[in-house]
Amino acid sequence: MHKFLPYAWFKGKCVPFDEAKISIATHALHYGTAAFGGMRAIPDPMDDKRFLLFRADRHAKRLSQSAKLLLSEINEEEILDSLSKWLKANQPRKPIYIRPFIYTSDLGIAPRLHNIETDFLIYGMELGDYLSPEGVTCRISSLRRQEDCSLPLRGKISGAYITSSLAKTEAVLSGFDEALLLNTRGKVSEASGMNLFIVRDGVLITPGVDQDILEGITRASVIEIAKSLEINVIERPVDKTELFIADEVFLTGTAAKITPIKQIESTKLTTKRPIMNVLKEKLILITENKSNDFSHWVSSIDVT
């Protein structure tokens, strides 16, 4: 059971979570005409009255850009201001996952994005590990990741996640934890809601933005951290067979953070992950505001 925070941001103000209701005729419910974000916030280890947010500005920017792809407008400042007010209303005390959401709130039945009302909401829940930190098992999905020419993949568009949902369930029902999707060209794209990295001969490799991936914020952060540690990083197409012979394979995402893959299909992978471990330790230090490096990525909000 999810433990939702007591207040939601709804219709421009904080209201009790149970009172944040939408109509069953809401356009976004029927056509997936919405965009969402995912953010983590944790109590400041040095001050329990403050909460730390990781790359809140980047998350706000991506949500604003996602809204534009739906022919809607919401600026980054409005998102961050609403988020601050929402956090202060909830006064959380444990690590949380935050879901900002912009959606077509019109009650019309035509599938369209012109002449239609939109709205913005935020809710959140307490969340620990989304995936097991010990590692996950994966299967190659029978479904393919969509192409950007048919769906704007650089935004977190709600309707696009039907493929992720089907792939995730296919994986779980066949005995795995997670799904890996290939793109329509047969190259590795991403997992159901995470980006993918492999390590070969000391080089960190990840599918580039031309492989129909979501431009993940954790992914971008890992790349920057790796470069600062003088780890060679290459963004390029990844073949399926490379997954089975890579020295390390792991996933990144806001919910997943950095999670190793321990098995793909019937192939068990090595448990030695020196590069992933260094990156994971560094990312934890940064998100907990314990590192001078990349300290500008972390913002704090007084929730009292």
Tell me, yes or no, whether 159 and 111 share the same domain.
no
First to last CA, the chain: 27
Q: What is the mean pLDDT of residues 83-112?
A: 95
- Is it the case that residue 279 has pLDDT exceeding 90? yes
Is the sign of the CA dihedral 112, 114, 119, 123 positive or negative?
A: positive
Tell me, yes or no, whether 87 and 175 share the same domain.
no
Residue 303 lies in a domain: no
Tell me, yes or no, whether 156 and 244 share the same domain.
yes
How far apart CA 76 and CA 295 sit, in angstroms, is: 20
Question: What percent of the chain shows pLDDT beyond 90?
Answer: 92
Residue 2 lies in a domain: no
Residue 293 lies in a domain: no
Q: What is the reported pLDDT for 94?
A: 92
CATH code for the domain of 148:
3.20.10.10
What is the average pLDDT value for the chain, to the nearest integer? Answer: 95
Q: What is the span of the domain harbouring residue 259?
A: 136-287
3-class DSSP state for residue 300?
Answer: strand
Beta strand 233-235 with 203-206 is parallel
Tell me, yes or no, whether 186 and 150 share the same domain.
yes
Tell me, yes or no, whether 175 and 249 share the same domain.
yes
DSSP 13-63: EEEEGGG----TT-HHHHH--EEE--EEEEEETTEEEEEEEESHHHHHHHH
Count of domains for the chain: 2
Least confident of 42-46, 223-227, 239-243: 42-46
Among residues 252, 162, 266, the alpha carbon closest in space to that of 207 is found at 252
**Final residue belonging to a domain, choices 108, 126, 144:** 126
Residue 45 lies in a domain: yes
Tell me, yes or no, whether 95 and 160 share the same domain.
no
Q: What is the reported pLDDT for 119?
A: 97
Residue 27 lies in a domain: yes
Q: What is the reported pLDDT for 132?
A: 87
- The predicted-structure confidence for 153-171, as pLDDT tens digits, reads as follows 999 999 999 999 999 999 9
Tell me, yes or no, whether 103 and 170 share the same domain.
no
Tell me, yes or no, whether 253 and 167 share the same domain.
yes
Tell me, yes or no, whether 229 and 195 share the same domain.
yes
- The predicted-structure confidence for 200-238, as pLDDT tens digits, reads as follows 999 999 999 999 999 999 999 999 999 999 999 999 999
Residue 92 lies in a domain: yes
